[in-house]
Amino acid sequence: MEKKFVNSKNHGQRNIDLYERLYQKIDFTGVKDVLEIGCGAGILASHLNEKYGLDVTGIDVDPEQIELAKEYQEKKENLQFMVTDATKLSFSEEESYDLAISTYVMHHIGNWEEVLTEIKRVVRPKGFYIFYDMAYSKFIVKIFRPIAKNYGVYTAQDIKGFLEENNFKVLYEEKQKHFIFNNYIFVFQKFD
C-alpha cells in the first residue's frame, strides 16, 4: 500500500513542488553532485537531473524500487540508481556530494544516527542536506524508542542537534503540524 502511494504521480509531484520551493529560498549555486537517499521510483532524482542538469545518484534499500526507477526513467546521462543501505554508503568517497536529500525516509530507519553520520561523511564542505520527514514529541519518543528498534523514533531537536554537533547549520526550517507527529523540513549546510 505504501509503495503504491510513494510511487504515485501525485506524491512525486508534491516532492518536486517542495524541492522547487526550496530551490527558490536557498542559493544552490555550485551544486552539481546529488545523493537522494530513499529515491523510490526515482521521480525526484530524474526531475533534478533533467531540469537542473545535476549528477544524481538515487539509492534505496528496496530492490523493487530501484528496478522501477531504472525501468520508468529514460536512460539519462549522469543519473544512476542503486540498491544500497544508507547506513553504509560503501560506494561513496568522502566529501563527494554537494547535496544529500532524504524525503520521508528517515522514520523507516531505526539507526538514523548512522545515516546522518554517512551524510556528514559524503557531503562536501559548504554542501547541503535537506531533511523532510516526520518527527515526534519528546513524550512519544520516550515511550516508543525503547520498543521501536526498526523505526526512526526521534524529535526534530534530535536531528538538528546531531547535525549541528557535526558542523551543519540550519539555513531553513519549516514545521507542518499533524496530530501525533509533525513534519519538518530542514535545509542544513555543512561547514569546514
Q: Retrieve residue 168's grid coordinates.
A: 551543519
Q: 17-27 as b/e, with b when 16 or more CB fall inside 10 Å?
A: ebbeebeeeee
Q: In total, how many domains does the chain have?
A: 1
Kindly report the CATH number assigned to the domain that includes residue 159.
3.40.50.150
The closest alpha carbon to 56, from 21, 98, 15, 95, belongs to: 98
Tell me the β-bridge partners of 181: 136
- What confidence tens digit (pLDDT) does each residue in 82-133 have? 999 999 998 778 999 999 999 999 999 989 999 999 999 999 999 999 999 9
Indicate the pLDDT class of residue 143, thresholds 50, 70 and 90. Answer: confident
Query: How far apart are alpha carbons 15 and 30 in whole angstroms?
Result: 22
**pLDDT at 177 (0 to 100):** 82
Q: Which domain holds residue 165?
A: 2-23+31-190
Which residue, among 73, 102, 99, has the nearest Cα to 86 in the 3D structure? Answer: 102
Tens digit of pLDDT for each residue in 108-118?
998 999 999 99
Give the cell for residue 166.
Answer: 557535526
- The percentage of residues in the chain with a pLDDT greater than 70, rounded to a whole number, is 95
- CA dist., res. 15 & res. 12, Å (int): 5
The residue among 74, 81, 25 whose CA lies nearest residue 55 is 81
CA 85 from chain center: how many Å? Answer: 13
What is the rounded distance in angstroms from the CA atom of residue 139 to the CA atom of residue 153?
A: 11
76's grid cell? 539519462
Close Cβ partners of 53 (under 8 Å, ≥ 6 residues apart): 78
